[in-house]
Amino acid sequence: MTLHTADTPAAPPYWLDEPSKPKLKLPRGACDAHVHVFGPRARFPFAEGRNYTPSDATKEMLFALHARLGIEHCVIVQPNCHGTDNRVTEDAIAASGQSYKGVALVRTDVSDSELKRLAAAGLTGARFHYMSHLSKSAPIDEVMVLAKRLANVGWHIQIHGEPDVLAAMAPTLKRSPVPVMIDHIGRVDASLRLEQPAFRALLALMQDKNVWIKVSGLDRITRAGPPYADAVPFARKLVAEFGDRVVWGTDWPHPNHTHKPDEGQLVDLIAEMAPSEAARQALMVDNPQRFYNFAPARKLHGAPK
């Protein structure tokens, strides 16, 4: 695994300059529950020893994308390349007036005072990575000890893990004292279809009403490529069976990706995973509002006039 330093040049952008405009009109108050902000590097330096160095993907670029897509609320997830210095995420949340919220990266020995400060800044949870291409988080048992303190500030834990890792930690996650959000459909392999053991294990974990999931990352679990026909059935089943505990996200600006997803296409796929207006209202508005408690939407600097 290559570790990057302050002098490492940035990778080319992982995103399209001009995504298509979606045909699907989203309900008012729609939320993109998984994005990242990178830089600007001159103001928010990347962490030493990170695993990747992206091009700047600023809050103004994010606001403009959301105006194009018809999105009013958002969850900004602190990216691994910025480490536990959450200022880049805090800055974007502040610019939104907390109509956007955030998920932090923290160490398990983070102080209670820092947790309270981050909570006041609009962060609502802590993310932990268990993916081979990223720096590993603390063992899940240590995360559960921290979770007792996260409960005091009303936070959740967000888990980004490979399917076998998620299956192994499922008994521990079911004991969590705070809600658990699973990233990107548990990173299952869409080519193995719905009957695969990894997806059955994920469905079993979702029987616990303390567990939520993001039907983001169709473009990451696919093995067929756009328009991700092999991945859509996984999202549709999760929405159908757990419609009150599922949220959606673009994963913009798509770090470490194999291709550049078209966000307009990702929005249009919502109609396939949530075919009814009621299902889309829950997925895009009611569920994220209940989970993240956004401030009222506002016009954001960087969005088109």
Residues tagged active-site: 251
CB neighbours of residue 9 within 10 Å: 7
Q: In one letter, which amino acid is 234?
A: F
The secondary structure of 111-179 as a DSSP string is -HHHHHHHHHTTEEEEEEEE-TTS-----HHHHHHHHHHHGGGT-EEEEEE-HHHHHHHHHHHTT-SS-
Residue 175 CA neighbour count, 13 Å, CB half:
11
Helix (H, G, I), strand (E, B) or coil at 77: strand
Q: Are 218 and 183 in contact (CB under 8 A)?
A: no
Q: Are 270 and 24 in contact (CB under 8 A)?
A: yes
Q: Is 273 exposed, middle or buried (0-12, 13-18, 19+ CB in 10 A)?
A: buried
The secondary structure of 23-74 as a DSSP string is SSPPPTT-EEEEE--B--TTTSPPPTTBS--PPPB-HHHHHHHHHHHT--EE
Distance CA 284, CA 212 (A): 14
Residue 236 CA neighbour count, 13 Å, CB half:
15
Residues 6+ apart with CB under 8 A from 144: 172, 175, 176, 177
Q: Are 36 and 57 in contact (CB under 8 A)?
A: yes
Helix (H) or strand (E) holding 247: strand 246-247
